[in-house]
């Protein structure tokens, strides 16, 4: 595995993974700033900036940006998450420097035209409306706000229509000045790439990025809670969760394995008990989300209104029992699934570039495949059970949408897993 990392004098890190068997490359810019880095009056601004980055620079208008990429057969994309914002493209390997040129242009020299800004606010307002019309998305927004009340980390990434409509160009520029600095960013490339070429292109094109230190984040304060919205739906959406661990925590791998055993596939305890044996839901899944300094473990499902209470009781019993008596066979299966996920990322240039960038920002280095496999293999039943027990001891978070009164409250959840 040929992974190379170079830190430029500005603090910008460049990481590449040459994959000789490929002819295409995935190239992108990752910045360690997302929804949780917004101040109270900036809710939704990270996502708006991601949209506005493609709306024109002094050198290129919005159409020229996409035409230049697509004329080379590539595609350009971006995404905003809780802790990161990503701008990336997939092209033939020889066009990687062109991607870096375009990315640097949109990220350091966008004009943020007022007419384009007004139009994009309308687009995002429609996007917010789509989420509000999609129950299985909206319930997770409710869940996040209940888990981390009155904090940016718990707020919906898209913002609110009123807040988005109020943003001005000055708000965008202030946010960029505070967060889009070289030490907080990574240029990552994987596939048919040459490290020296990528470093030279990044050094040449991103020279305008500030070298000042990244703005420190407010520490997350998980509290747990109860969020429910009554709405006329065919099913009730339910999410139940607990606080877990962050990226760099010593138990991070154990927490992911515990979530996988509990509800990570068709052979998992939740799927077998809730779907296969009792038919209480079409699907039920567990999750383990890790952030820099906190994490969330839980499960989600949709059920007929009359089955919600039973589904939750059965699921909570499954999770609690899993923490008490998971088996060697389950542990072996979960380890194998984690290794396959790792290898799958190594087989895709896009997934590999994203993985490297996030690892570099979250951990400060890119672990080798051997290092990760060694950590997975070292997991024990006792360690994985302990990770599950630790999560289940935290205050529960419950979010429900539909006939929300059918869902158990945090106190019932706590007593069920206690």
263 token code pair:
């509800």
Percent of the chain predicted with pLDDT > 90: 95
How far from each other are the two terminal CA atoms of the chain, in whole angstroms? 45
Mean pLDDT over 298-320 rounds to 97
What torsion do the CA atoms of 234, 240, 246, 251 make, to the nearest 10 degrees?
-130
Confidence category of residue 263, pLDDT binned at 50, 70, 90: very high
Q: Quick one: pLDDT band at residue 104, thresholds 50, 70, 90?
A: very high
Report the C-alpha gap between 231 and 133 in whole angstroms.
11
pLDDT higher at 105 or 213: 105
Answer whether residue 18 shows pLDDT above 90.
yes
Q: For the chain, what is the mean pLDDT?
A: 96
Q: What is the pLDDT of residue 418?
A: 84
Q: Quick one: angle between helices 381-392 and 252-263, nearest 10?
A: 80
pLDDT at 215: 81
Average pLDDT over residues 56-80: 96
Task: Tell me if 225 sits within 8 A of 243, measured CB to CB.
Answer: no
Q: What percent of the chain has pLDDT over 70?
A: 100
Task: Compute the average pLDDT of residues 9-30.
Answer: 97
* pLDDT average, residue stretch 243-265: 96
- By CB neighbour count within 10 A (0-12 exposed, 13-18 middle, 19+ buried), where does 180 fall? buried
Contact 273, 395 (CB under 8 A): no
Q: In a 10 Å sphere around its CB, with 0-12 CB exposed, 13-18 middle and 19+ buried, how is residue 160 labelled?
A: middle
Per mean pLDDT, which range of 150-164, 210-224, 246-260 is the poorest? 210-224
Rounded to an integer, the average pLDDT of 322-339 is 95
The reported pLDDT for the residue numbered 50 is 97
Greatest extent of the chain over all pairs of C-alpha atoms, in Å: 62
Lowest mean pLDDT among 49-58, 111-120, 340-349: 340-349
> 174-201 pLDDT, tens per residue?
999 999 999 999 999 999 999 999 999 9
Predicted pLDDT at 345: 78
Report d(CA 407, CA 399) in Å as an integer: 8
Residues acting as catalytic residues: 50
Structural contact between residues 48 and 157, judged by C-beta atoms closer than 8 angstroms: no
Number of other residues whose CB lies within 10 A of the CB of residue 281? 23
Neighbouring residues of 371: CB distance < 8 A, sequence distance ≥ 6: none
CA-nearest of 380, 371, 354, 387 to 246 is 387
pLDDT of residue 342: 81
Q: What is the pLDDT of residue 1?
A: 61
* Predicted pLDDT of residue 216: 87
Tell me the two tokens of residue 329: 């066979």
Residue 165 pLDDT > 90: yes
User: What 3-state DSSP class applies to 78?
Assistant: strand
Residue 380 has pLDDT above 70, yes or no: yes
Could you tell me the pTM of the whole model?
A: 0.95
Q: What is the pLDDT of residues 369-378, one digit of tens each?
A: 999 999 999 9
**pLDDT exceeds 70 at position 171:** yes
**Which residues have a Cβ under 8 Å from the Cβ of 124 and sit 6 or more positions away?**
44, 47, 48, 51, 158, 159, 164
- Residue 214 pLDDT level (bands cut at 50, 70, 90): confident
Query: What region, left, alpha or beta, does residue 69 occupy, with left being phi > 0 and alpha being psi -120 to 50 degrees?
Result: alpha
Instruction: Give the whole-angstrom CA distance, residue 132 versus residue 323.
Output: 35
DSSP 112-177: --HHHHHHHHHHHHHHHHHHHT-HHHHHHHHHHHHHSTTSGGGS-TT--HHHHHH--HHHHHHHHH
Complete domains list, the chain, with CATH: 2-205 (3.30.830.10), 225-417 (3.30.830.10)
To 5 degrees, how large is the angle CA 52–CA 57–CA 63?
A: 75
pLDDT of residue 88: 97
Confidence of residue 344 (pLDDT cuts 50, 70, 90): confident
């Amino acid at each position: 595995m040929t992974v190379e990392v170079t830190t430029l004098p500005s603090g910008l890190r460049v990481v590449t993974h040459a994959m000789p068997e490929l002819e295409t490359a995935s190239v992108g810019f990752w910045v360690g700033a997302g929804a949780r880095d917004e101040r109270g009056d900036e809710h939704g601004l990270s996502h708006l900036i991601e949209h506005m980055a493609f709306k024109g620079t002094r050198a290129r208008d919005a159409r020229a940006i996409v035409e230049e990429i697509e004329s080379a057969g590539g595609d350009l994309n971006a995404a905003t998450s809780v802790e990161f914002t990503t701008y990336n493209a997939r092209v033939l390997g020889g066009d990687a420097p062109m991607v870096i040129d375009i990315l640097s242009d949109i990220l350091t020299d966008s004009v943020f035209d007022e007419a384009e800004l007004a139009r994009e606010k309308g687009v995002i307002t429609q996007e917010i409306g789509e989420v509000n019309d999609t129950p299985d998305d909206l319930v997770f927004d409710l869940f996040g706000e209940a888990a981390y009340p009155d904090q940016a980390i718990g707020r919906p990434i898209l913002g609110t229509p009123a807040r988005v409509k109020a943003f001005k160009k000055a708000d965008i520029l202030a946010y960029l000045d505070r967060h889009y600095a070289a030490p907080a960013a990574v240029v990552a490339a994987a596939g048919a790439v040459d490290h020296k070429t990528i470093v030279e292109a990044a050094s040449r094109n991103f020279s305008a990025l500030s070298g000042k230190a990244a703005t420190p984040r407010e520490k997350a304060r998980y509290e747990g809670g109860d969020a429910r919205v009554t709405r006329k739906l065919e099913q009730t959406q339910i999410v139940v969760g607990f606080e877990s661990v962050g990226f760099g925590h010593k138990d991070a791998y154990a927490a992911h394995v515990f979530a996988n055993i509990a509800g990570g596939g068709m052979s998992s305890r939740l799927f077998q008990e809730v779907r296969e044996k009792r038919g209480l839901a079409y699907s039920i899944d567990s999750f383990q989300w890790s952030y820099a300094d906190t994490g969330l473990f839980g499960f989600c499902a949709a059920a007929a209104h009359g089955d919600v209470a039973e589904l939750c009781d059965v699921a909570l019993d499954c999770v609690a029992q899993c923490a008490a008596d998971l088996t060697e066979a389950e542990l072996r299966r979960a380890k194998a699934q984690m290794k396959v996920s790792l290898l799958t990322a190594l087989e895709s240039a896009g997934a590999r570039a994203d993985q490297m960038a996030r690892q570099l920002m979250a951990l400060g280095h890119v672990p080798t495949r051997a290092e990760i496999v060694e950590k997975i293999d070292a997991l024990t039943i006792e360690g994985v059970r302990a990770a599950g027990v630790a999560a289940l001891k935290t205050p529960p978070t419950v979010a429900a949408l539909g006939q929300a009164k059918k869902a158990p409250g945090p106190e019932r959840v706590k007593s069920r897993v206690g």
